[in-house]
Structure formats: C-alpha cells, structure tokens
C-alpha cells in the first residue's frame, strides 16, 4: 500500500451538522465525491479534519466511516497523533483495526519536545503497528519542527514510510528529499508547493483545497506525470486566488465556508474556530464567482 500513497491525497474536512455533531452520512458522500474525482488517497483527521477538536469516540467513527466507504479503492490515511505517546499509540492501534491503510502522526504540541524526544515518540508509535506511518510536520501549529537529521533517523525504521511537510519551507522539503532514502515518500502539505515538490523528486501532496476542487488538484499530478508541465503549472497557479483567502482567518474555516458556498453541505467548524462574518462570507463568494464558478 505504501507504493500507492502518492499523487494527490485529500486532506478531508469532517462534516458537521448545525449542532456541531459529526455528520457521517455527509462524510460518506464526500468520500464518494472525492474518489469519483480521481483522488489518489484520502486523509481523515488531519488539520482540515479538525482532529484537534474531536473526541476519541468521534475519531474512531470517522476512521471507520471513511475506510468502509473507500472499501480499498484508494488508500486511507488516518491522523492518530496525540499530545502523549501513550494516547498516540492507543489511537494508532485502533485505526489499524478499523481499516486505515496508513497513519499520519503529527508532532506533539503545546509542550515543546526535543528532537530526541520526538524521535522516541515516533519510534514508539511505529513499533506498535504494522501499517505505514507518515510523519506530519506542521511547526506553525505544534511549535516544533522536525529536523532533517531526525527525519533521516526515523526513515530507517521499516514502517515509517514518509512525511507530510506543512512548514511552507520549500528548502526543507528539498533537504528531506535529498537526505532521506529513495523509498521514503515526501509529500507537500502546502497546496501551493505540490508541483514544485513533484519536480524536486517528491511524490505529491496532501491537499485541503481538494475538498473544493478535487479535479483541479488531481490534474496537477496527472499532467505532471505525463510531462505536460505548462498545463500542470496552469492548474497549480489556478488555486492561488482561493488560497489567498486564508488571510481572512483560520484556513479550516475558509475551506468549510467555501465548500458550503459551492453546494457541499459540510457544515461549520467546531467552535470557537468558526465565523459567519458577513464580510468574510461575501469576499469568499466573490472570489469563487470571479475565479472559479464563471470559468466552469
């Protein structure tokens, strides 16, 4: 399955109803929609999936729902990283039982861990399961950055298969690609860097914008794979307008607001990470109409 974890993997939102309860029927629908769009993999319980705001029972329900709905058609990655190593191990084992094909394990947050502590944390989780593990580096949210040396040490473990880097630091992505073993999969967690990561030797990206325009994101990879770079670059450049909206607030909120405006009823983010500010909604609506809806 590790060989199939490449291309465009959707960083799925977790649909919720008006009362902020997880909407499993809509999650099933979104899973089908993304697969129909040609997505190469599904990642539930990441940042866009609001894993930080979900209870353990809800996380299990989300993993089960996505894995069962995907039914082996595309690989399913489940975010199982928690603040403590013991909690991360427990959720990793549950995800493996529930049918996840691979795990994404974010660095612990709030208390800053040393590189040695991070190494021991990830190795302990890796030793507890049989399925591949992808490190998840997002220092803006965790307060800690996985160094190139630490990633290379972890890459020696048999089932630590790759990394999603959401640092936005392209030089660091390059260093991961250059220093890690050839079979170690480097994925961009920044949608704007997908094509450039592919050009540099990475394997693709885990993309939040895939919730909005999955066909566009898939085309970046498919066109690049066929050697049609200029067309792939045009597709890559086309998402700039929607990503520029992240200046308006929490990216998770912007993605869900945009999805709802596009007719995908994924509901709100779990509060306090939500807004219905009229100016924000109107600006998102304007950008969608001017840059995307009129072009269809």
Kindly name the residue from 52, 59, 119, 164 that is annotated as catalytic. 164
Catalytic residue among 52, 119, 136, 221: 136
Active site residue 221: no
- Among left, alpha and beta (phi > 0; psi -120 to 50; other), residue 18 is alpha
- d(C-alpha 78, C-alpha 266), whole Å: 19
Residue pair 114/148 in contact by the 8 Å Cβ criterion: no
- Whether residue 164 lies in the annotated active site: yes
Q: What number of other Cβ atoms are within 10 A of residue 55's Cβ?
A: 9
Question: Please, which residues have CB within 8 angstroms of residue 220's CB and are 6 or more apart in sequence?
Answer: 8, 194, 195, 198, 232, 235, 236
Q: Are 63 and 94 a contacting pair, CB within 8 Å?
A: yes
Active site residues per annotation: 136, 164
């Amino acid at each position: 399955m590790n060989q199939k974890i490449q291309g465009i993997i959707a960083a799925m939102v977790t649909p919720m109803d008006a009362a902020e309860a997880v909407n499993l029927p809509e999650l099933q629908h979104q899973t089908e929609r993304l697969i129909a769009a040609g997505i190469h993999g599904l990642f539930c319980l990441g940042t866009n999936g609001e894993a930080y705001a979900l209870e353990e029972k809800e996380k299990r329900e989300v993993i089960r729902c996505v894995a069962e709905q995907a039914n082996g058609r595309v690989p399913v990655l489940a975010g199982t990283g928690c603040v403590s190593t013991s909690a991360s191990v427990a959720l990793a084992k549950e995800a493996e039982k529930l049918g996840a094909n691979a795990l994404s394990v974010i660095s612990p947050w709030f208390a800053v861990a040393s590189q040695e502590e991070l190494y021991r944390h990830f190795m302990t989780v890796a030793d507890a399961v049989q399925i591949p593990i992808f490190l998840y580096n997002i220092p803006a949210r965790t307060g800690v950055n996985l160094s190139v040396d630490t990633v290379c040490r972890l890459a020696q473990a048999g089932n630590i298969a790759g990394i999603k880097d959401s640092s936005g630091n392209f030089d660091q992505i390059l260093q991961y690609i250059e220093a890690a073993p050839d079979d170690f999969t480097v994925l961009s967690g920044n949608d704007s860097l997908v094509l450039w990561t592919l050009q540099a030797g990475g394997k693709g990206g885990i993309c939040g914008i895939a919730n909005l325009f999955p066909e566009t994101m898939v085309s970046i990879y498919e066109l690049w794979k066929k050697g049609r770079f200029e067309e792939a670059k045009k597709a890559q450049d086309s998402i700039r307008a929607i990503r520029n909206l992240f200046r308006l607030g929490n990216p998770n909120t912007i993605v869900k607001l945009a999805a709802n405006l596009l007719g995908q009823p994924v509901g709100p983010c779990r509060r306090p990470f939500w807004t219905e500010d009229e100016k924000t909604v109107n600006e998102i609506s304007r950008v969608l109409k001017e840059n995307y809806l009129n072009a269809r």
